[in-house]
Amino acid sequence: MAGEIGHRFVSPIALGFLLNLAIEASRLFIPLLTKDLGGTDFDVGLVGAASGLAYFAAAFVFGRLSDLFGRLRFVRLGLAASALAFLGQLLARDVVSLLFVRTLVGFALGITTGALLVFAYENRGGIGKFSSSGAMGWIAGSLAAAFFKEYHLLFFLSFLAAAVAFLISLRLEEFKPVQVATTPRYLPVIWRNRAVYWPFFLRHVGASAVWIIFPLFLQELGADKFWIGLVGTANYAGQVVLMVLAERFAGPGLFRFGLFLSGSVFLLYTLLGHFYQVFPVQLLLSGAWSALYIGALVLLLRSGEERGTAAGILVANINLCAALGPFLGGLLADWWGYHAPMYAAAILSFAGLIWAPRRAVQAS
């Protein structure tokens, strides 16, 4: 029995690693590619916004569907679609075609992400190790970006990683029967968890405004593509350890700490004078995200039985931010420079503390 459970959990970990490798290998240099194709800072934000909006819509819908019809069919569908969408990035020849294909990538990822999160949780009851495997995938994607550098190589690597993940998913079996009401219950789930969703949204819309211009900010501080890739690796390396540790302290206090530390990190970015100085700040960032993300997931997944819906709404929340944040970041950077999105992100993170929960969310 122990071996069977272990086998069931190893596979979701492998999927999390491969999917996040694929995401990061493609994502990191998209702002630079947009500029190389003749885009402006505003276009950088627009491409990110289109992808995030498609991700939001798909995650919102398919998270609920995974409660009704099972997790695995949407894990597989999303992985297959993601592989094709990543491969389609090779066809981008201008800003318009890049915007279109990144929209397809976002939608495909939205199909699978929430279902995969809940599938991993229900296979073992924990989310820290699965999230840690995702951080390891981000590390691998960042290192690939740092060493390969060429866009077409990275896009093909993303295709291969997603395709392998899809093949692995074909060996899995549904672990837990899904029994929820068939009528839509988005509003009750959102209302029950509003103290998690709203502060998370405020923090992450600010963060997304920063991330869309961050490679350009690092480039301004003297970093080339190699160093931009390594900066991401420093953040994810911390998460590999901290995601597992964070689950032991999961609760409202951990979630609130993630908000406070996030705001502090965004302010620290504005004090940097050279890209080398960003590395210790990235370790603080890894702690901030680990506390916020694991804190939010545990509060949500323990708050009721509609886990697919709750996780899907969180993923939708993240990617609504990924739609709005890049637009905000591109606009602020275009008007006032790269520090402006960082100040905005800090203010929004600290504001989230006003509404953040002080006790566990109660199941309905």
Q: Which H, E and C letters describe 286-345, residue by residue?
A: HHHHHHHHHHHHHHHHCCCCCHHHHHHHHHHHHHHHHHHHHHHHHHHHHHHCCHHHHHHH
Do residues 317 and 204 touch, judged by C-beta distance below 8 A?
yes
What's 2-352's CATH class?
Answer: mainly alpha
Lowest mean pLDDT among 13-27, 115-129, 135-149: 115-129
**What average pLDDT does this structure show over 120-144?**
79
Q: What is the pLDDT at residue 32?
A: 86
Q: What is the pLDDT at residue 3?
A: 45
Local confidence band at 124 (pLDDT 50, 70, 90 cut-offs): low
**What average pLDDT does this structure show over 138-163?**
89
Q: What is the pLDDT at residue 5?
A: 45
Mind listing the pLDDT tens digit for each residue in 271-322? 999 999 999 999 999 999 999 999 998 888 776 667 777 888 888 888 788 7
Tell me how far apart the alpha carbons of residues 201 and 208 are, in angstroms, rounded to a whole number.
10
Q: What is the pLDDT at residue 56?
A: 84
Q: What is the pLDDT at residue 304?
A: 63
End-to-end CA gap in the chain: 33
Mind listing the pLDDT tens digit for each residue in 194-233? 999 999 999 999 999 999 889 889 999 999 888 887 887 8
Q: What is the pLDDT at residue 302?
A: 75
Mind listing the pLDDT tens digit for each residue in 222-267? 998 888 878 878 888 888 888 878 777 777 899 999 999 999 999 9
Residue 118 pLDDT > 60: yes
Do residues 253 and 297 touch, judged by C-beta distance below 8 A?
no
Residue 364 pLDDT > 50: no
Q: What is the pLDDT at residue 78?
A: 96
Local confidence band at 349 (pLDDT 50, 70, 90 cut-offs): very high
Q: How far is CA 158 from CA 33, 86, 92, 171, 353, in A?
A: 16, 6, 15, 21, 37
**What average pLDDT does this structure show over 143-170?**
91
Mind listing the pLDDT tens digit for each residue in 163-196? 999 999 998 877 655 555 555 567 888 888 899 9
Q: What is the pLDDT at residue 340?
A: 96
Give percent above pLDDT 90 in the chain.
44
b/e map of 182-208 (b: 16 or more CB within 10 Å)? eeebbeebbebbebbbbbbbbbbbbbb
Average per-residue pLDDT in the chain? 86
Tell me how far apart the alpha carbons of residues 225 and 235 are, in angstroms, rounded to a whole number.
16
